[in-house]
Amino acid sequence: MLESFIPALMLAFSPEVILYVAIGVFMGVTLGAIPGLSGDMAIAILLPIVFFLEPAAALGLLTGIYKGGMFGGSISAISFGVPGTPGSAATAIDGYQAKLKGYPNKALMTALYSSVIGDSTSDLVLIFLALPLAIVALTFGPVEFFALYAFSLLLISALTKGKVAKGVAMAALGVLLAMIGRDPMGGTLRLTFGIPELAGGLALIPVLVGIFAVSELIIQLSKAWMARASRIMDDTRQKAESLLGDYDASRDKLTFKEFRSTMKATWIGTTMGTLIGALPGAGSSLAAFISYGLAQRFSRNRDEFGKGSLEGVAAAEAGNSATSGSTLIPLFAFGIPGSATAALFGAAFILMGMTPGPRLIYDHTEVIYALFLILIYANLINLILSQFLLPFYSKIAMIQSRILLPIVCVLAILGTFAAGNSVIDVWVLLFAGLLGVVLRMFNFPLAPLILGFIVAPGAERALRQSLLIGRGDWMHLLSSPIAIGLYTVAAIMILTFTLVLRDKK
């Protein structure tokens, strides 16, 4: 495998790939900074375009957007108290207070440094853990794989939004959407409702982009239509402008002593974010809030938390960003996306002809090694770009989303058509968007649905192979100690997290 390292190095550091990473970081920070838009949405919209790029360039672009989006969310959280992404909600607690006290730049720089430290550490954990786990996964049979799929679906359902039953229902719905079309083992048509165009099944891009991005766009558009979003932005702009009146930029520079004082909080956030990120469904906002709580508990200045503490900003931002690498571990090791972002990366792999799972690293060693290198240096690009562009980013965050929303909608529609060259895909995209809206309005989490849709073909194959081996006996699914262990761990974790979250509430 080491002989692939040099070609991977050449691939990762080719000028084209570096350029795409830089463009991705810029796009990610910009979109993450605008409330209502996010890096994840940008990844979803750009999925069809990725189809036309070289794999390393495409992964570079997506990685850049992902990393930029992680930090971008904190810009509007600190500048206006409006989190650009759900993961940056905890950053807003102290970040906005710091801004009100007259040191927004210190808060933004603390967020940037802790974000990069958390992100880089998480990437290293991914790099050194994915391969050993993939080796273990290669020894799995269909019974173990079905248990693993069920484990991830149950866990992501339980942890995504607190309501376990709604999450489980969404995972089942995702599985059913994936069943539409021809049965891969017997060739018979399923759930096509007599519509011949559905015989080929629902394509990945329209369902993902529709459920994930178009539904959010519809909600944002309706907010813009009701002029609420613009009014909020007008208010925050006025507030921001009034605050700039007595702002002294010379006193608002992060000193090395201040940076060092945040290190403990940063490492608490990094550790928690990396651990929580590796769990399917736990998500960056949970990691950020738990990191914030722990950093407060272990801080000497715990009374300062909530009043503009830089430690609070560092812990929340490191916790948020440290999920970015570890959330990809289940995808690389087992082919199971642990979060919506990982699902989008999984979809990108599938579009480029690469099947996520334990064989991914062996079958596409060069590209995956190049991706590992990109993950590391994208953090540096994020650090350098953001250092220079931070003053402009705060202004970008003031762009009203109503200007960009229609353009993003058109991009989603044309991109989906471009990927499949099919008008049916456009219909599926728009109807998936409507379905996503209804589900969001009734507080159903969407991540389990996306995960269910993506893992369903693999899970079905594993289930039916297990049943064939067990001659139709469902108890055969409990014939392996690993499978029993996975079901037990899933049950324990769901119970633990449900009780912990209930206590927190």
Q: Is 456 in the site for other proteins (CB under 8 A)?
A: yes
Q: Is 402 in the site for other proteins (CB under 8 A)?
A: yes
Instruction: Name the residue with tokens 């399923």.
Output: 190
CA end-to-end span of the chain = 48
d(CA 167, CA 158): 6
d(CA 350, CA 70): 24
Question: Which residues have CB under 8 Å from 194's CB, separation 6+?
Answer: none
* Rounded least distance, CB 214 to other proteins, Å: 8
**Complex with other proteins: residue 6 or 403, whichever CB lies closer:** 403
d(CA 443, CA 425): 26
Selection from 66, 49, 63, 51 nearest residue 354 by Cα: 51
Whether 84 contacts 35, CB under 8 Å: yes
Exposed e or buried b per residue across 406-419, where buried means at least 16 C-beta atoms within 10 angstroms of its C-beta? eebbebbbebbbeb
Q: Is 139 in the site for other proteins (CB under 8 A)?
A: no
**Complex with other proteins: residue 139 or 421, whichever CB lies closer:** 421
Q: Is 179 in the site for other proteins (CB under 8 A)?
A: yes
* Rounded least distance, CB 35 to other proteins, Å: 16
- The residue within the footprint of other proteins, chosen from 302, 307, 359, 464 (CB under 8 A), is 464
Count of CA atoms in the C-beta half-sphere (13 A) of 274: 19
d(CA 435, CA 441): 10
**Complex with other proteins: residue 283 or 433, whichever CB lies closer:** 433
> What's the burial of 449, exposed, middle or buried (CB within 10 Å: 0-12/13-18/19+)?
buried
Of 86-125, binders to other proteins (CB under 8 A) are none
What 3 state SS string does 383-400 have? HHHHHHHHHHHHHHCCCC
**Complex with other proteins: residue 388 or 442, whichever CB lies closer:** 442
* Rounded least distance, CB 209 to other proteins, Å: 12
The piece of 1-9, 24-32, 174-182, 200-208 that touches other proteins (CB under 8 A) is: 174-182
**Complex with other proteins: residue 19 or 467, whichever CB lies closer:** 467
Backbone angles phi, psi at 479, to 5 degrees: -85, -15
Q: Is 164 in the site for other proteins (CB under 8 A)?
A: yes
C-beta neighbour count of 496 within 10 angstroms: 11
- The residue within the footprint of other proteins, chosen from 214, 336, 367, 494 (CB under 8 A), is 214
**Complex with other proteins: residue 1 or 407, whichever CB lies closer:** 407
- The residue within the footprint of other proteins, chosen from 165, 245, 248, 475 (CB under 8 A), is 165
d(CA 502, CA 489): 20
Classify strands 181-182 and 189-190 as parallel, antiparallel or unpaired.
antiparallel
- The residue within the footprint of other proteins, chosen from 186, 196, 245, 481 (CB under 8 A), is 186
* Rounded least distance, CB 404 to other proteins, Å: 9
> What's the burial of 34, exposed, middle or buried (CB within 10 Å: 0-12/13-18/19+)?
buried
* Rounded least distance, CB 298 to other proteins, Å: 34
- The residue within the footprint of other proteins, chosen from 75, 108, 112, 224 (CB under 8 A), is 224
* Rounded least distance, CB 171 to other proteins, Å: 8
User: How remote is the C-alpha of 153 from its chain's centroid?
Assistant: 16
d(CA 244, CA 174): 48
**Complex with other proteins: residue 130 or 405, whichever CB lies closer:** 405
Of 273-292, binders to other proteins (CB under 8 A) are none
Q: Is 227 in the site for other proteins (CB under 8 A)?
A: yes
What 3 state SS string does 175-235 have? HHHHHCEECCCCCCEECCCCCHHHHHCCCHHHHHHHHHHHHHHHHHHHHHHCCHHHHHHHH
**Complex with other proteins: residue 82 or 153, whichever CB lies closer:** 153
d(CA 325, CA 348): 16
* Rounded least distance, CB 321 to other proteins, Å: 30
Length of the chain in residues, anyone? Answer: 505
* Rounded least distance, CB 419 to other proteins, Å: 9
Binding mask 414-453 for other proteins (x = CB under 8 A): x--xx--x-x--xx-xxx-xx--xx--xxx----------
- Taken in order 489, 282, 48, 16, is the CA torsion positive or negative? negative
Q: Is 400 in the site for other proteins (CB under 8 A)?
A: yes
C-beta neighbour count of 249 within 10 angstroms: 12
- The residue within the footprint of other proteins, chosen from 23, 124, 129, 172 (CB under 8 A), is 172
And the tokens for 263? 């290190």
**Complex with other proteins: residue 169 or 322, whichever CB lies closer:** 169
The piece of 164-172, 251-259, 310-318, 380-388 that touches other proteins (CB under 8 A) is: 164-172
Backbone angles phi, psi at 405, to 5 degrees: -55, -50
- The residue within the footprint of other proteins, chosen from 7, 190, 259, 350 (CB under 8 A), is 190
- The residue within the footprint of other proteins, chosen from 460, 480, 486, 493 (CB under 8 A), is 460
**Complex with other proteins: residue 294 or 501, whichever CB lies closer:** 501
Q: Is 45 in the site for other proteins (CB under 8 A)?
A: no
Residues that bind other proteins (CB under 8 A): 49, 52, 163-166, 168-169, 171-173, 175-176, 179, 183, 185-186, 188, 190-191, 214, 217-219, 221-222, 224-227, 230, 400, 402-403, 405-407, 409-411, 413-414, 417-418, 421, 423, 426-427, 429-431, 433-434, 437-438, 441-443, 456, 459-460, 463-468, 472
